[in-house]
Chain A
Amino acid sequence: MKIITMFLLVALSAASANSLPSERRKNGQLIQQALAPVQVSLQESSAVFYNDEDSRQFLYGTVVSEDGLVLTKASELSEVENYFVRVGSKKYRSPKVISRSETWDVALVKIEAEKLLAVDMSAPSDLAHGTWLVSNGAAERRFRRVKPGIVSANRREIPGGSPAVLGVALNEKDESLLIGVVNEKSGAHKAGLKKGDQLLEIDGSKIKDRDGFIDYLKEKKSGDFVTLKVKRGEEILEVEVELMPRHVVYGEKMNRNDQLSGGPDQQSARRTGFPMVFQHETMLTRRTVGGPVFTLDGEFVGMNIAAVNRVEAFAIPAKELAEVLESLAKK
């Protein structure tokens, strides 16, 4: 009996000597407690989006006006049909999307509220590397949990890197070019193109082969329209098709680092193509973006826009966000 007790003691002390208890770690409770003064800002100016279906939190928003204007990540919001919003401990039903910016992936949402605490977007956006930032962690019904992280890289534009696509597979058969599977999120689907349609002309010129067709599309940008003449059975149809970014239609490409980062469960579906971001290393997931980012002084410096991978998160700087808000409010 004695021997066993001693052995246990030795094992316990060895474990504690070699390993730091989780509450003392960077994402542990003790640091969250130290951040209490900043949590107050987060508590008041974060909106939490819940799916009506399962009451699960799926996104955050940033409160930008006293009377209930909220900015959030547009592409995540459009994934959910019906949702409600919480600010502080109050629940707001039937929020309305007023407008959205494809360029910034930001949506402006209105909730029926008054006397909210809006973020002040006038802060200078030059943040030195290593500056502590505070974002939203997991959501609790009444309490906004904090996640710390530091500014980790240069602020910059993130290129889209996503070519414009029609959203269909192409099959070459007996000198003719046929449409294969049509992706449901594509402009081709919206325009009513169907599998088996034979492609005849694009913007008035004859389609000779697959390569020529693809080369023509390469010159185009997302948002451009092309006019296609197709043969369906005996019918000849002419349709206008919007070209869309590849990542919108097919999702972003996965590489090894994306797999290391937990893939689509953890990463934002849209994580490229932003005119300006600052980068930090706060441990976000696709469900915790959209909320405000504060410094230790409680100064609002931006809105989280993408959980990129296990080491990188992007936020739109306050100054740029103010401009986005201005243009969205005009629409």
Chain B
Amino acid sequence: MTLGGFRAFALALVMLPAVSQAGRPALNDKEAPQNLDDLREIQAALQSNLARARAATVCLQMGAGSGSAVIISEDGLVLTAAHVTGKIDEEIKVIMEDGRELKGLSLGLNSETDSAMLQIVDDGPFPFVEIDEKDTTILGDWVFSLGHSGGFDKERGVNVRVGRLVRQANSTVQSDCMLIGGDSGGPLFNMEGELIGIHSRVGASREESMHVPIREFQKHWEDLKNGEFIGEGGFAQKIEPGSGFLGVIVEKSEEGGLKVKELFPKGVAEESGLKVGDRIIEIDGEEATQGVLDSKLAELGVGDELSFKWVSGEETKEETLKLGERP
């Protein structure tokens, strides 16, 4: 036993020089790699953390658009960018690297820093990564970036890139890991495999990538988790209730439901194929009445969805319409 204890002690001593004071890998203490062994050290650190990081990196799909995100808890709490989720309480498809599809619901977002949260609704446990709670990563540290660049591609898998932290500002860190469309919302890791940022945008050159640092999430953690829409920044636009436009005038039908009386030319209703004289029988699964329609429209804004079932001649049709802008 003693020997065992001694061995462990000796091993710990040997390993000490490899780690700097703050517990950071020594590879970050050099101005730059000086030889191939220094580069091999970076490679080994990255590779030892890559499997776990890849498993937790997901693709988010919203209609035609897609972004990336990362799972940070066993029960499926996810961090991403505000310009990816765009809205609070929105159903978003979550795809794992192996192709497994899950249901997600967007939580809060910060429209000023481009941070957002999402919750996977399906049952876990899910693979997840630790976050750099103590904010130990500094300028010059080696980092790696993951994402579903250009959208989900099962054959390709998650795309990994390596680089360094090259610039720091208040609510942004910049790395020279290259990013592209579809990476937005994806994770940036330090060489210990801890999450340090979320991809937000790119600069003019290929080597300028901007990320939201984790401390910006930490500042508003509870609000983000509780589904708050924070700030009035450019990364997401608050939907004003009642701003959505359907472009239809209805009247009560004697056969039940609502009869289409007039259609606004090229409005959402007309474009969906609704005709004057058609009879709307259900709105979002509820029996169609003027009261139901008015109260739904009062809650919803531009881009929100509302489903309709209606009778047109002999046919019954069903469609989910996306509300347009009031002309």
Which residues of A are in contact with B by a Cβ distance under 8 Å?
17-20, 23-28, 30-31, 33-35, 37-38, 128-132, 148-150, 152-154, 156-157, 256-257, 260-262, 279, 281, 283, 296, 309-312
Q: How far is the CA of A281 from the CA of B175 in the complex (A)?
A: 14
In order of increasing CB-CB distance, the 9 nearest A-B pairs are A30-B32, A20-B166, A130-B47, A130-B46, A34-B33, A281-B161, A257-B181, A154-B157, A156-B155
What are the residues of chain B within 8 A of A28 when measuring CB–CB? 32
| Extra pairs beyond A18-B169, A130-B160 (7, CB < 8 Å) | A24-B140, A129-B47, A132-B39, A154-B157, A260-B181, A261-B180, A283-B178
* The residue from A34, A132, A262, A311 contacting B161, defined by CB atoms under 8 A apart: A311
Most buried by B among A23, A128, A148, A257: A257
Interface residues in B154-184 (C-beta closer than 8 Å to A): 155-169, 176-183
Q: How far is the CA of A132 from the CA of B46 in the complex (A)?
A: 11
A26 touches B160 (CB 8 A): no
At the interface, yes or no: B31 with Cβ under 8 Å from chain A?
yes
A130 touches B166 (CB 8 A): no
Interface residues in B118-165 (C-beta closer than 8 Å to A): 139-140, 144, 149-150, 155-165
At the interface, yes or no: B293 with Cβ under 8 Å from chain A?
no
> Given contacts A17-B139, A20-B165, is CB(A131)–CB(B180) below 8 Å?
no
What are the residues of chain B within 8 A of A128 when measuring CB–CB? 47
CB-CB nearest in chain B for A27: B207
Nearest Cβ on chain A to B177's Cβ, whole angstroms: 8
Q: How far is the CA of A260 from the CA of B166 in the complex (A)?
A: 21
Nearest Cβ on chain B to A92's Cβ, whole angstroms: 31
Interface residues in B28-56 (C-beta closer than 8 Å to A): 31-36, 38-40, 42-43, 46-47, 50, 54
What are the residues of chain A within 8 A of B321 when measuring CB–CB? none
A257 touches B43 (CB 8 A): no
Q: How far is the CA of A279 from the CA of B139 in the complex (A)?
A: 28
Q: How far is the CA of A35 from the CA of B177 in the complex (A)?
A: 19
What are the residues of chain B within 8 A of A35 when measuring CB–CB? 36, 39
What are the residues of chain B within 8 A of A311 when measuring CB–CB? 149, 159, 161, 178-180, 183
At the interface, yes or no: B317 with Cβ under 8 Å from chain A?
no
* The residue from B31, B32, B144, B149 contacting A312, defined by CB atoms under 8 A apart: B149
